[in-house]
Amino acid sequence: MIVHPIDYRYGTEEMKRIWSEESKIKRMIWVEISLLKALAKRGYLNEDVVERIKEKAVKIKPERVKEIEKEIKHDIMALVKAISEVAEDSRWIHFGATSNDIIDTATATQLRDSILIIEAKLKKLIRLLVEKALEFKEVVCLGRTHGQAALPTTYGFRFALWASEFARHYIRLQQMKERILVGKLSGAVGTQAAYGDEGFEIEEEVMRLLNLKPAIISSQIIPRDIYCEYIEFLANLATSLEKVALNFRLLQRAEVGEVFERFEEKQVGSSTMPHKRNPIDCENVCGLARVIRGFVEPQHQSAILWEERDLTNSSAERITLVEATILSDHILTKMIKIVESLSLDFENIRKNLEAQRGLNMSEAVMIALTKKGIERQKAHELLRKVSMRAYANKTSLFEELIKEKEIMEYFSEEELKEILKPENYLGTALKRIDRVVAWINEIL
């Protein structure tokens, strides 16, 4: 019986395969085999024996492991017994190891492979946003603060801003790999007592075989600040994805109508309103981002353990790491598709800008007046009064400005019209877009 929506609705197959129960068991088997190889290298057993054990162990079915676990009530001992069943010599299987040597190291391989996928998709999203930043670089639009009309900006500037945010996530991902992609083989309390003086060498060899680094120190488990950092990264990434999705939703509202996510030919928007074109992909991103952020607290709680370790983290991490990773990959994949197929209504963009009747250009006039010699605060009050009058009279800012002798003694009407053109008040916007693009090209 399928219960969880991840099984039938959310997540990519490539990411779900990494975190499947079958994958977890196979990875733990590989950790056990890697331990045998490391022991063989130091003369504990013959390498040919390890190869024969490996050939049979990799064929172990998860069902057999679960069958043994049902009887003995211990997942790792069930795995060890399953391997021992097919081994001609089981003497060295799991030698010197504790359960979380196997679990945490296998988890590190899952994190490694997951990060490779997230990294590639993150780069793709950044490049897409850069493409849009350049494509819409000079598409002047109405800026909004507090949901109200503000100074003009460009769509290219918006996309450059978002691209820079995801570029920082990419940098964070590179920086945290060294801290996160670590395994362990340090025994019951982290002292490697069973291996004596050979502990470091055996651990290093196992991690080399698995393309990981050994944790610099661990107790019975890898310190959970490592997992906290990973979940926090996913939560931060999800927050940025939600922010962009939310802005697309706001810009798709009927009364704005500037940006639209794809709507396929046979797609249905509502079961009762045939005209609806709802931004469901963006809404999906927003909803699941909230779930991802919800894993931050239980993962932090899972880092607070008694002495060398208790078991309160185990049950939570079977959920936090798996679901946070799969859902993050899901909404990242969805955002790539959203941006790829995004469409802009340039007519509405211009219409919304012009609908402000120049009122959003009040700062431009205030700045020009200040440069002409009027004290800045006085210029601000003049423009505030004129703007409020334009609101009340439903007239344009230009119409009200030309009535003000105190203002018009500094400008001709033609000069004022030039000041009120949105494209003339973009400051360094276009240069900032170029700067972001150049910076991202260096990073990627």
**pLDDT for 269:** 75
CA distance 93 to 89: 8
In a domain, 82, yes or no: yes
417 pLDDT tier (thresholds 50, 70, 90):
very high
Percentage of the residues of the chain whose pLDDT score is greater than 90? 94
- In the numeric block, which tokens belong to residue 129? 């946003």
**pLDDT for 9:** 93
Q: What is the mean pLDDT of the chain?
A: 95
How many helices and strands, by DSSP H and E, does the chain display?
Answer: 20, 6
Averaged pLDDT for residues 418-436: 98
273 pLDDT tier (thresholds 50, 70, 90):
confident
Residue 148 three-state SS: strand
Averaged pLDDT for residues 257-262: 93
Number of domains in the chain: 1
Determine the structural domain holding residue 61 and report its residue range.
5-86
Averaged pLDDT for residues 149-165: 98
Burial of 298 (0-12, 13-18, 19+ CB in 10 A): middle
Catalytic residue among 146, 271, 275, 412: 146
In a domain, 12, yes or no: yes
Averaged pLDDT for residues 89-97: 95
Is 146 an active-site residue? yes
Number of Cβ within 10 Å of residue 437's Cβ equals 20
In a domain, 235, yes or no: no
Residue 206 has pLDDT above 70, yes or no: yes
Residue 275 has pLDDT above 90, yes or no: no
Specify whether the CB–CB gap between 397 and 386 falls below 8 A: yes
Specify whether the CB–CB gap between 256 and 352 falls below 8 A: yes
Residue 49 has pLDDT above 90, yes or no: yes
**pLDDT for 330:** 98
In a domain, 100, yes or no: no
**pLDDT for 11:** 96
**pLDDT for 266:** 77
265 pLDDT tier (thresholds 50, 70, 90):
low
Is 4 an active-site residue? no
Q: What is the CATH number of the domain that holds 69?
A: 1.10.275.10
Averaged pLDDT for residues 249-267: 89
Residue 357 has pLDDT above 70, yes or no: yes
Residue 351 has pLDDT above 90, yes or no: yes
Averaged pLDDT for residues 183-208: 96
Residue 394 has pLDDT above 70, yes or no: yes
Catalytic residue among 4, 74, 270, 341: 270
In a domain, 47, yes or no: yes
Specify whether the CB–CB gap between 115 and 332 falls below 8 A: no
In a domain, 97, yes or no: no
How far CA 270 is from CA of 280, 343, 429, in Å, comes to 11, 21, 39
In a domain, 312, yes or no: no
**pLDDT for 277:** 82
- In the numeric block, which tokens belong to residue 31? 């950790």
**pLDDT for 270:** 65
Averaged pLDDT for residues 282-293: 98
The pTM is what?
0.94
Say which range, 132-146, 171-185, 265-279, 390-404, has the weakest mean pLDDT.
265-279
Averaged pLDDT for residues 384-389: 96
In a domain, 73, yes or no: yes
Averaged pLDDT for residues 369-375: 95
Q: What is the Cα 138 distance to its own chain's centre?
A: 28
Residue that wins the pLDDT comparison between 96 and 277: 96
